[in-house]
Structure 1
Amino acid sequence: MPASDRPILILGGTAEASKLATRLMESGYRVISSLAGRTKDPARPEGEVRIGGFGGVAGLCDYIARQHVALLIDATHPFATQISDNAIAAAAATDVPFVRLERPAWLQRPGDAWTTAMTLEEAVAAIPTRARVLLALGRQHIAPFARRGDVHFVVRMIDPPEVPLGLIDYELELSKPGSLEEETAILKAKRLSHIVCRNSGGTASYAKIRAARELGLPVIMIERPHRPGANTVPDIDGVIEFVEANLSF
């Protein structure tokens, strides 16, 4: 099969993955973007799109073989460790070129009041009694906070949960991350005293960090798990260079 007919598979779901798909399509590559399907109405990137898991390393290997994938790109969330580990293993097993796009982590700036946590449990323990906390983590990371009945949580989600969250004292904020002005307004309106979030990096959700800085609110920042550094680039241009070096029409 000619290289031009073989697709590039992007493991996506991030803003960078969507922009990358557009760039590659504009350059004439065939692109398949794979989305996890955790939101009900995800923004669909340009090109072909599949939604749902693969069934572990074996399932991803099978998909790569069936689709004659020419190159694999991991552009998932920095905390999506399972799919990233599966991608590394599948690329090695199938011998397809592999590159990971991982946006740089946020760095603490003057005026930031961060408490660093390496795990969810450390973040739970760091919250002071009677705090009012914006919990911006994703529904699969909420459960450890259920033991903090002395804290009021404002839980940000894109879609309403299908089952109760299990938190003792909480309210839902059904919205996507907004502008600096919007994030500031939410923090003030909800009378929030702290933010708990993960160090996702990028620009899409950074406004809440800026708003916390300007309002003098503490942030409990969950740091990223250690990831292999091989074949990892920090931006879309680096991925494009890798693609051009490894694929030809």
Structure 2
Amino acid sequence: MKTLSYAVASIRYHKKFSIIYSLFFTLFLFLFTLLLNLKKMILLLHTQVATRIALIESQLKEPAATPPLDSHQVTEVTHIYESVLYVLMGLFLLLAIFMLTAFFRLKKAEVLQWRIVGLRFREILRLLLVESLLPAVVVTLVIGSILFVFQTTYETLLQTINFQVLHWLNLNDYTVSVATQAAENHSYVIGLPFDNVSLFKVDFTNQFWLSDIFITTLQVFCAMAIAISFIISSISLFFIKHWTKKGRWSR
């Protein structure tokens, strides 16, 4: 309890840094969650498009043109999302190291005072971890609440991004292919159930927020918290030993 109270007091004291750190964590938490949701979304869309194509073929009374969004194309889209995700992961680690290093320099006097009063390395580390992770917990709760309240807006954002990626890769022109095939076969097609937009629009399930958005947000938080904890442990071990000029900490 004392550790938590001190962490809150320290966060208030270093208010400017705490705000910047919270915004940093918010940005990457949202971006990581967004990209992981997009990866799951393209797999869901693949299944739904296959069902819709089967319905179109039943109205055409014959196999339609080459089905869109096949496994190879899904892999292509997934690769794009993964590439962006890996770039953001690298950027997150670099910025986290830079930011936490600056944080330790800012707290040098406090850390040395802790050592003078006899705190061990693991006790100092616990204080630093709580102080660093507490804003992350608050941010995660806020982001989760916002995504729940504005779930429809978030789903629209996912739809828009995914459709733009499909358009960029020229994977969303199936209706043109159907019309062309029908003309060549001198067929007269009436009332196809999907147009060029609705065919590639995901029908989100009622459990999408809980099963995908909420759980993904928690998974991203856990991964980011582990990364930050490792960075803090490494940086604190280096700086505290350097500042105190001692070779080994007592446990």
Length-normalised TM-score, structure 2? 0.24
Higher helix share: 2
Structure number, greater radius of gyration: 2
User: Whose RCO is larger (CA < 8 A, sep 6+)?
Assistant: 2
Higher strand share: 1
Length-normalised TM-score, structure 1? 0.24
